[in-house]
Amino acid sequence: MTKPSDWHLETRLIRAGRSDNEAALAPVLWTSTTFVTPTVEEGRAMATSSRSRRFYTRYGNPTVNQFEDAIAELEGAECARAFASGMGAISAVLLGLCSSGDHVVAQKQLYAGTQLLLQSAAPRFGIDVTFVDATVPGAFAEAVIPGKTVVVFAETPANPRLALADLSELGAIAGPITVVDSTFATPLGQTPLDYGVDLVVHSATKAIAGHNDATLGVVAGSQELIDWLWQFAVLQGANAAPFDAMNGLRGLRTLGVRYRRQTESAIEIAQQLVDVEGVSDVIHPGLDSHPQRALVKKQMNLTGGLLTFELAGGLPAGERLVSSTEIAQLATSLGGPETLITHPASTTHVGLTPEEMIDAGITEGTIRLSVGLEDPVDIMEDLVQGLSSTS
């Protein structure tokens, strides 16, 4: 008999986060905002210790803690803290770890919300940020200012062109705290902490919860770092709602089959899109044509359901395509059961200047597709029909 600690990730996903469940098989929802304190001494201990589980829900909550435990187990971390959204987690990491006068190195290929936080909010708090190209070997380490750089922040694969940052390079950086937003990969795609990275962040709103019905974020790492973050997080107040954490736990049970299916469908669709007229530059980490394919093979186990491509017809073609597909629905998110199509130039990246758009690798004709769980044959037919309206 294999021991639970020897089980493969896809077996552990099914059971993770059940230690507080008594006999219940499904995740248990604890809605209470507060918990009866048995004695004054225990109340004192809970009010002053980190991550108390049954004191006050902003500090900790049994359902939320179970979700945190599950993510920590799957990422190979000592512990985790869940947040009200991915941005709640990212802002806690940056504002909880950095003070005025500190320096951050971040990549320029980022989710637009993270980029705006670093570009607009961080300077107001006296935090300097240097943006680097994650695809250039050594770029992160070169931008580190010894004694001043507190955080190195990467997102891999990154919005929206699925560029990779090298996890081994990040893990080898000594001094600053290295953070990887691993939302697109999920724990099934990669486990950054295995490479020496300090903290892994997810928008669990996406594939982890997986059904477009939970807004949820999480950070996992060493107990020391999570305890430190926890102290900021209870004051920041962006704690995860128990209902969303329960949906996160539910989502984890099917993450294995969902993420595998989405990866296979995305590769199948990407391979066919390459031959469609008016489409160019089809990018998916599972294609041999991905510019960093060797790195993909080195650090990713599964490559996920996201793909991007370029439309020769630019802005009008993009707007026509996203208005004419039926299975691929125009909505801003990813990783759920429904195939979603976005046109960054008219939606997610609309706030960027033309120079910033070029920097982020977006053109007016860039399309991002989050492949869902529908039959890939139907998704492809839908795209071909939609693309016929763009020429």
Ligand X SMILES: Cc1ncc(COP(=O)(O)O)c(C=O)c1O
Pair of tokens at residue 77 = 């971390």
Under rule CB under 6 A, residue 337 binds ligand X: no
91-221-240 Cα angle (round to 5): 50
Closer residue to ligand X (CB): 159 or 366: 159
How far apart CA 259 and CA 173 sit, in angstroms, is 30
Catalytic site residue from 69, 102, 181, 244: 181
Closer residue to ligand X (CB): 183 or 262: 183
Q: Are 247 and 204 in contact, with CB atoms under 8 Å apart?
A: no
CA distances from 361 to 130, 171, 308, 356 (A): 18, 25, 11, 9
**Least spacing, CB of residue 107 vs ligand X, in Å:** 12
How far apart CA 123 and CA 101 sit, in angstroms, is 10
The residues near 347 (Cβ < 8 Å, ≥ 6 apart) are: 332
The residues near 344 (Cβ < 8 Å, ≥ 6 apart) are: 160, 350, 362, 366, 368
Closer residue to ligand X (CB): 12 or 284: 284
Closer residue to ligand X (CB): 77 or 89: 89
Residue closest to ligand X when measured from CB atoms: 86
Closer residue to ligand X (CB): 52 or 203: 203
Q: Is 181 a catalytic residue?
A: yes
**Least spacing, CB of residue 115 vs ligand X, in Å:** 10
**Least spacing, CB of residue 131 vs ligand X, in Å:** 16
Under rule CB under 6 A, residue 107 binds ligand X: no
Q: Is 244 a catalytic residue?
A: no
Under rule CB under 6 A, residue 183 binds ligand X: yes
Q: Per CB under 6 A, which of residues 123..152 are in contact with ligand X? A: none
Catalytic site residue from 206, 253, 261, 320: 206
**Least spacing, CB of residue 298 vs ligand X, in Å:** 21
Which of residues 76, 113, 171, 278 is near ligand X by CB under 6 A? 113
Under rule CB under 6 A, residue 159 binds ligand X: yes
Q: Per CB under 6 A, which of residues 59..98 are in contact with ligand X? A: 85-87
Q: Is 206 a catalytic residue?
A: yes
Under rule CB under 6 A, residue 30 binds ligand X: no
**Least spacing, CB of residue 205 vs ligand X, in Å:** 4
Residue type, 38: P
**Least spacing, CB of residue 85 vs ligand X, in Å:** 3
The residues near 250 (Cβ < 8 Å, ≥ 6 apart) are: 26, 27, 209, 211
How many residues lie near ligand X (CB under 6 A)?
Answer: 13
**Least spacing, CB of residue 149 vs ligand X, in Å:** 21
Q: Per CB under 6 A, which of residues 253..272 are in contact with ligand X? A: none
Write the Ramachandran bin of 52: left for phi over 0, alpha for psi from -120 to 50, otherwise beta. beta
Catalytic site residue from 58, 250, 260, 293: 58
Q: Per CB under 6 A, which of residues 185..224 are in contact with ligand X? A: 203, 205, 215, 217
Closer residue to ligand X (CB): 217 or 285: 217
Under rule CB under 6 A, residue 247 binds ligand X: no
Under rule CB under 6 A, residue 181 binds ligand X: yes
Cite the active site residues.
58, 111, 181, 206
Question: Applying CB under 6 A, which residues contact ligand X?
Answer: 85-87, 111, 113, 155, 159, 181, 183, 203, 205, 215, 217
